[in-house]
Amino acid sequence: MDRLLVLVRHGQSDWNLKNLFTGWEDPGLTEQGLAEAHAAGKAMKADGMTFDVAFTSDLTRAQHTLDIILGEMDLKSIPIIRDQSLNERDYGDLTGLNKDDARKKWGEEQVHLWRRSYDVPPPGGESLKDTVARTLPYYVSEILPRVLRGERVLVSAHGNSLRSIVMVLERHTPETILKREMATGAPIGYRLNADSTVAETVDVA
């Protein structure tokens, strides 16, 4: 059994480039983001990877990244399951604001707390803890069973929704997960044991 799970954060979006809090807003990919998605698909194909099913969020940037990857891998016909449980963290009142402008409005310390604490949400938004509470049950009920059955699964989503899954796979604490960076367009692969723990990480060129 392969039990392969690959997670990939969407390619760079227009709002990533502009340093804006994005959350559930739906900007498209930049030229760099498109290139990252194409490169990810080519790298996985070159490594001989293939997938039986793909999951993505309700947001265009993750879906577009997935479509490009599957096109590069000649896997356009596999089932794609979309669900808002995999959406990015909701930044509430910060959404659409430039991060530097937010610091000027609320102060460096407060914005840092909202961004890098585990359980302090921004006004009207979600903390990482809230995002974990939304994403992790979906992973456990919908994604993980397929991997454990031996299906090869690709997930195209977002920095914080993927952190929620990585937190379990890599056994992070609420403190260490905050330091785990998720680069845009960079696949992370895992082969799982039958008990759902990680047997090995899989390098993607």
Determine the Cα–Cα distance for residues 20 and 186; give it in Å rounded to an integer: 21
Instruction: Report the CATH number that the domain containing residue 146 is assigned in CATH.
Output: 3.40.50.1240
Q: How many separate domains does the chain show?
A: 1
CA atoms within 13 A on the CB side of 192: 24
How many percent of the chain have pLDDT more than 70?
Answer: 100
Rounded Cα distance between 104 and 101, Å, is 5
Residue 10 gets which letter from DSSP? Answer: P
Tell me the two tokens of residue 14. 């227009």
Instruction: Give the residue, 205 or 104, on which the prediction is more confident.
Output: 104
Q: What is the pLDDT of residues 63-98, one digit of tens each?
A: 999 999 999 999 999 999 999 999 999 999 999 999
**What are the contacts of 114-120 at 24+ separation with CB within 8 A?**
116/178, 117/178, 118/174, 118/175, 118/177, 118/178, 119/174
Q: pLDDT, tens digit, for every residue of 104-147?
A: 999 999 999 998 899 999 999 999 999 999 999 999 999 999 99
Q: Mind telling me the catalytic residues?
A: 10, 88
Prediction pTM value: 0.95
187 with 36: CB under 8 angstroms?
no
CA distances from 156 to 13, 86, 108 (A): 14, 9, 31
Amino acid 79 reads P
Q: Confidence band (pLDDT; 50, 70, 90) for 205?
A: low
Domain of 120 in residue numbering reads as 4-202
In the predicted model, is pLDDT for residue 150 greater than 90? yes
